[in-house]
Structure 1
Amino acid sequence: MFLFLTLMLQLTVTETGQFTFLTVSDGGHVALPCKNAKALKRTCDSTFWLFSGSARTETVPLVVSGETDRTQISKSKSDRLSVAKNCSLLIEKVAVEDVGMYGCRQIRSGQQDGDDVYVHLSVVTMSQCTDGDAVTLNCSLSTYGHCRHTVKWLYDGKDVDEDNRLTTSQADCSVAVTWLELRGNDTRWDSGFQCEVTDDSTGAVRRFPFTPQPSGEETAKSSTPAEDTTSTGWLRLVIVSAGLITLVVVVVTVDIWSRTKGNKTLMDKNTVDIDEDEDEGSVEYENDGDPSASVRFH
């Protein structure tokens, strides 16, 4: 166990080690070759796969004796890993977190057999955004260590810089292309774009076609806000109408109440005048009979 841990803790790149550089698109799948596996072996029980996300992170064992080591990695990642019959490491639904250096090592009878072989895995990510009439496609490459690739957009197999209707902006291992979407124009520019990635050290070139979003989904998404707006408008109309009806009822009620109160006051006043004229006298005056003085009713 001590020897195993000693061998597993280090993923040292040696001059005699073999290197493979692979680039895959986000969401794709890839097979990392283990070139030091014996061609006639029927099992991979001596195969170990190690992973380093960057030079500053610790080496993590992914495969131990031909089996995925689920104790060292998350379940979401381990579920995407498997070992092929030729001891290659298979990765499904590749994500940016998979970028790094992978080492394949053979250990037999407690001793390392041969040199490690290494695979540098890079991942391409493409996206589209719209701002008014301007449409922008972005292509970025995530790599292990510093960027040593050239990334550019092609349209119909030609460099987009050759088309004056398109503008590009370049950054380290990423590129963006922008154009204006003309209204009433049925041409879908994004259907002919490819992101080309060139490994400057090996000269290897790979092209990744950009897959535009289906027009039906775009239409459905754009119509959703309109439906919401219509529903909101009807709701506001109902609320405003109910408020107006309530206001009318309140105004009419107050008017009727005010008229009723005024009539009652007038009737009370007339009653007092009649009682003052009667001989029986239901009203007494104080302060020597001065009618301007206070009135006490019996």
Structure 2
Amino acid sequence: MKVGDDVTLPCLNVIDEQNNCDGTTWTFTPRNKPTTVELITLGQIGEQAKTQSDRLRVTVNCSLLIKKLTVEDVGFYSCQQYKLGKTRAEDTLVHQSLVDLSVITLTEHKDTEKVTLSCSVVKNEQCRHTLKWLLKGQDVDKENKEIVTSQTHCAATVSVLKNNYLYSSRDEILKCEVTDTKSGRVQVFSSQPSGEETVDPKTTTKMHSKSESDTTPGTTTITKSSPSITALSLYITGAVGLVILVITAVFVIRWKKNKGENIYR
């Protein structure tokens, strides 16, 4: 199962005559921790699991449903079947079944030129899985220069250049194949990240607002501009001055004309 998915853990050999699985108890031992927590106590959410009550539920067949898997859910789960007595101390353990839960994580790391996808298995014990990336359902050609794959212990990565056509369609054509070497079970997962995307801290994003004066190579751009307040003021001042000059000239001409008429009288 992948991080973020829901999973139902089966309870084997469920005893009869149970009312809402009141003879069923589920316990959990996290990976790398010696403590055991009672998730379900006789069909009800255990006191130690109250904070996870929205993620846990017992199904009709007494299986355990876990919603939205996380890495912290990896570990051993035990389904215990009790024949109930008059008191809890008199309950008799009839059967116990174990489930070893592991999860698949898919992460995406971006830097300036490429994106790197990582597929890994988080296990409680030693890894018994093999992982590899598939391109359109086929093994990635090692001679392919446009896509680079690598494998480590219980993990596989693939890197694609951002200027490559594979980058935009990676979620559809790139798949992670996980094989359980013990059971032979094969699962294939989409490259859609199950965890948070990580970004190279050296990479910065510059916000750029394009204006009419921006240019691109080989093009000529005419920049449109509106007259500034200063230019407009000069324009108005010049126009007013011109009107005054015209009025003054008309006045002088009329004055001289009138004066000449007075002389000849």
TM-score using structure 1 length: 0.59
Q: Deviations along 1:152-192, whole A, 9 cap, x unmatched?
A: 11121112245613211211111111122326888523431
Unaligned ranges ≥5, structure 2:
195-204, 212-265
Report the equivalent of 1:89.
Answer: 64
In the alignment, which residue of structure 1 is the partner of 2:162? Answer: 181
Greater gyration radius: 1
Higher RCO (Cα < 8 Å, 6 or more apart)? 2
- Following the alignment from structure 1 to structure 2, what is the Cα–Cα distance between the partners of residues 211 and 56? 30
SS in 2 for 1:114: strand
- The size of the alignment, in residue pairs, is 196
- CA 117–211 in structure 1, closer or farther in 2 if over 3 Å, else same: same
In structure 1, distance between residues paired with 2:164 and 2:184 = 41
Q: What SS does structure 1 have at the residue aligned with 2:207?
A: helix
Q: Once structures 1 and 2 are overlaid, which stretch shifts more, 88-97 or 110-119?
A: 110-119
Question: Is the Cα–Cα contact under 8 Å of residues 106 and 192 in structure 2 kept in the other structure?
Answer: no
Q: Distance in 2 between matches of 1:122 and 1:174?
A: 13
1:72 aligned to 2:72?
A: no
Q: Is 1:124 equivalent to 2:104 in the alignment?
A: yes
1:196 is aligned to 2:202: no
Matched, 1:138 2:138: no
**Structure 2-normalised TM-score?**
0.66
Cα pair 1:50 1:59 within 8 Å, conserved: yes
**CA root-mean-square deviation:** 2.8
SS at match of 1:27: coil
Find the aligned partners of 2:56 and 2:4 in 1 and give their Cα distance: 14
Partners of 1:185 and 1:119 in 2: how far apart?
Answer: 39
Alignment of 1:193-272 (within 5 A): 193-211=174-192, 225-226=206-207
Deviations 1:74-126 (A, max 9, x none): 61x33211111111100111111001110000112234343311111111111
Residue equivalent to 2:245:
none
Q: Distance in 2 between matches of 1:142 and 1:98?
A: 10
Which of 38, 53, 62 does residue 39 from structure 2 map onto? 62
How far off its partner does 1:147 sit? 0.9
Contact 1:191-1:212 within 8 A present in 2 as well: no
Runs of 5+ unmatched residues, structure 1: 1-23, 214-223, 231-298
